[in-house]
Amino acid sequence: MNDIRQQDATALRTELLAGTISPLEALGRTIERFNAWNPIINAIIHPRLDQALHQATQVDLNQGALAGVPIAVKDLGCEQAGEPFHCGTSFLRNLNWKSSYNSYLWSSLETAGAISIGRTNTPEFGSTITTEPTAYGATRNPHEIKYSAGGSSGGSAAAVAAGIVPIAHGNDGGGSLRIPASACGLIGLKPSRGTVSAGPTKSEHRHGLGIDGVLTKTVRDTGLALDVISGLRYGDYVTTELPIASYSKLLAADPGSQKIAIATFSAHPACVDAVNKTASLLEGLGHQITADKNPPEWFSDDVTDQTIVLRTIGMAQELYRWGEEIGRPITQEDVEPSNWWSAELGNTLPGTMYVAAQNWLHHWSRRTSSFWNDFDLLITPVLGSLTPTIGLLSNPETGQQQLRELIGFVDQANVTGQPAISVPVGEHKGLPIGVQIIAARGHDALLLQIAQQLEDSEAFTTLSNEL
């Protein structure tokens, strides 16, 4: 575990401030890892190494909490003025489209002194849980390249797991931080809704389902990054009260004895074993464990059906918006078949169905909220089965059924807006397995404290040390 901590952003900042390494030398190490790994795993699709080298010569180490730290940015959200913005699509790649403005998120990272080495691969519009866009090809898992790095933040996860960067931006509208974290043996926190601003051009991500975050190797790096990117901005549609102290400081606090429920439903035995291992460890740390307990209706198929309404209408709106941006309608030839099908379905659904779906999901969230009067945390698998191989979900005959079996544990926290974290406590045949921990909304710090306890207990899978 100490080996991992020696590689993280927090340790790098200590070296930089002590003068034992310069920003240019730190970036040189990053570039070495990039050259060794990126041709194999296809994580960073828009490298900006020359610009990063120039920035490294100009760093003021007192500028902010990430000054001199190399990072990567997912090519979906986190817009950077003048940088490519393709969202995994062929039509934006062909136009060499670049963002015209900085998102609030990137402004926060840039103000903190982070040095972006490039933008990472993502499935087209981030619409699935593996990263295999037609436009840029598959991102492979650094632990075993025939397997996926997950999605939709798969490029970012692969970049961190391979040790190219210690921190990478991602976002999560349906497990898109937690799933690649599980696949690659990382920490992936989906913050509470309203913790990270979606501005300036959006009021919220993915109809309230999505939010930005980061992928890291250590809990302390997640806290460090969350301190940088969290905060309310004028005009934010949904907000969540932040803790008085920083997340980094709260990591050292004792969370006390928490009441924790465990739900594994019908997951793969290896995923169940990882959950049970986590529960046993936490029980040994003084927490109270209740098995086979979950919020009411938590695994209802109706949740999936209602989120499909939001996502298909959302895809139709996305294609319409991009048509307005590029000055012509988006056609079937411009996008992948699954997203075209989704948009076509969305175009047939009336606006009343969209409003009804939102209302249903709001009421469902209220009905599940009683659970959090009795329990502080819920632990589940991240995925219902093992990390898929490259190409598994694109099989037209079996892909959709495989997808439904995999994602039954992640959407719920996107709907409720609760924080959820994937921690790497399991493995199966050399591949990491993450376990998901969910807290009540606004209790992100509690998740980090529990994850820190697991990390300190040497529970984390250390496969990443072998890369």
- 280 part of the active site: no
Exposure of 402 by Cβ count < 10 A (0-12 exposed, 13-18 middle, 19+ buried)?
middle
Catalytic residue among 116, 152, 192, 394: 152
- 370 part of the active site: no
Exposure of 382 by Cβ count < 10 A (0-12 exposed, 13-18 middle, 19+ buried)?
buried
- 257 part of the active site: no
**What tokens were used for 285?**
């740390």
The owner of tokens 């905060």 is 231
- Which distant-in-sequence residues (6+ apart) come within 8 Å of 419 by Cβ? 189, 190, 191, 192, 195, 413, 438, 439, 441, 442, 443, 444, 447
Catalytic residue among 176, 182, 192, 230: 176
Q: How far is Cα 467 from Cα 455, in angstroms, rounded to an integer?
A: 19
Catalytic residue among 74, 148, 182, 190: 74
What residues are labeled active site?
74, 152, 176
